[in-house]
Structure 1
Amino acid sequence: MKKRLLAVIFCLSMPTGSALAADGATLFLANCSVCHQANALGVPGQFPSLAGRVDRIASTPEGKQYIVGVALNGLMGPITAGGNAYSGFMPSFKMLPDDQIAAILNHVAGLPGGTDATIFSVDDVVAGRKKSITPSAMVEKRKALEAQHPLP
Structure 2
Amino acid sequence: MRLFFHTISARKKLVFLLALLVLPGGCSRHKSPRYLYGSNCGICHHGGEGMAGSVPPLSGRIDRIAATPEGRVYLASVLMNGVSGPIRAAGVPYRAEMPLFRYLSDEEAATILSWLSQQGETKPAPTITREDIAAARAHRISAGDVADMRAKLDLKHPLP
TM-score (norm 1): 0.88
Does residue 55 of the first structure (1) align with residue 63 of the second (2)?
yes
TM-score (norm 2): 0.84
CA contact (8 A) 2:61 2:120 kept: no
Sequence identity (%): 35
CA contact (8 A) 2:84 2:144 kept: yes
1:150–1:112 Cα change, 3 Å? closer
- Per-residue deviation, 1:34: 1.1
CA contact (8 A) 1:77 1:89 kept: yes
Which residue in the other structure is 2:154 paired with? 146
Does residue 130 of the first structure (1) align with residue 130 of the second (2)?
no
Which residue in the other structure is 2:115 paired with? 107
* Structure 2 residues not aligned, in runs of 5+: 1-9
Cα distance in structure 2, aligned partners of 1:60 and 1:98: 20
Provide the aligned C-alpha RMSD in A.
2.1
What is the identity, as a one-letter code, of the residue corresponding to 1:35?
A: C
- Per-residue deviation, 1:32: 0.7
Does residue 77 of the first structure (1) align with residue 88 of the second (2)?
no
CA contact (8 A) 2:63 2:120 kept: no
1:139–1:49 Cα change, 3 Å? same
Which residue in the other structure is 1:31 paired with? 40
Give SS of 1:151's match: coil
* Alignment coverage as a number of residue pairs: 148
Greater Cα radius of gyration, structure 1 or 2: 2
Give SS of 1:120's match: coil
4+ long deviations beyond 4 Å? 115-118
1:11 pairs with one of 16, 19, 22: 22
* Structure 1 residues not aligned, in runs of 5+: none
1:118–1:142 Cα change, 3 Å? closer
CA contact (8 A) 1:109 1:116 kept: no
